[in-house]
Structure 1
Amino acid sequence: MESTLDELAWRISTFSGANDNCVAVAELPDGGRAVRNSKRPDGPVVTFTASEWDAFVKGVKADEFDG
């Protein structure tokens, strides 16, 4: 997986501005997503299956995570 992660197209939010203080997200070949700290690109990466990512996005859109 390591070589695959190096080849991914990582994106960060435009809201992070010049600080680059955000998470970076990349689409995996199987439709899942990889997430990492944009300030530590060589640091740990968390991966999600396509169905896990879909559930997360739906939860965000439904305001399920607002405290």
Structure 2
Amino acid sequence: MPDSTGWIMSSRSTGNGGSCVEARRHEGWIEVRNSKNRSGGLVRFTTEEWDSFLFGARRGEFDQLLTD
């Protein structure tokens, strides 16, 4: 697996001013940032933390946070 990738955005992001995040792998971390404020900072996760988050999301553990 490469040590670094480019920023990726979800295919569900609309590009019409919606709230979006971008993520990338960089120097052993998974970094996440706000696509509307790219210079505003980022959040870093270990690969283990990111894998745990994705596992939980796939299982619906965060569904109660969804809005209509």
Relative to the length of structure 1, the TM-score reads: 0.76
Task: Select 2:36's aligned residue among 36, 39, 44.
Answer: 39
Aligned residues: 60
Call closer, same or farther: CA 1:20–1:38 in 2, change over 3 Å.
Answer: farther
Q: Which sections of structure 1, spanning at least 5 residues, go unmatched?
A: 1-6
Inter-partner Cα distance in structure 2 for 1:48 and 1:54: 9
Cα RMSD, aligned residues only:
1.8
Q: Which sections of structure 2, spanning at least 5 residues, go unmatched?
A: none
Whether the 8 Å CA contact 1:20–1:38 is kept in 2: the answer is no
Inter-partner Cα distance in structure 2 for 1:8 and 1:61: 23
**Counterpart in the other structure of 2:60:** 63
**Counterpart in the other structure of 1:28:** 26
- The structure with the greater share of residues assigned to strand is 2
Structure 1's consecutive aligned runs of 4 or more residues displaced over 6 angstroms after TM superposition are: none
Inter-partner Cα distance in structure 1 for 2:61 and 2:48: 17
Call closer, same or farther: CA 1:50–1:26 in 2, change over 3 Å.
Answer: same
3-state SS of paired residue (2:15): helix
- The structure with the greater share of residues assigned to helix is 1
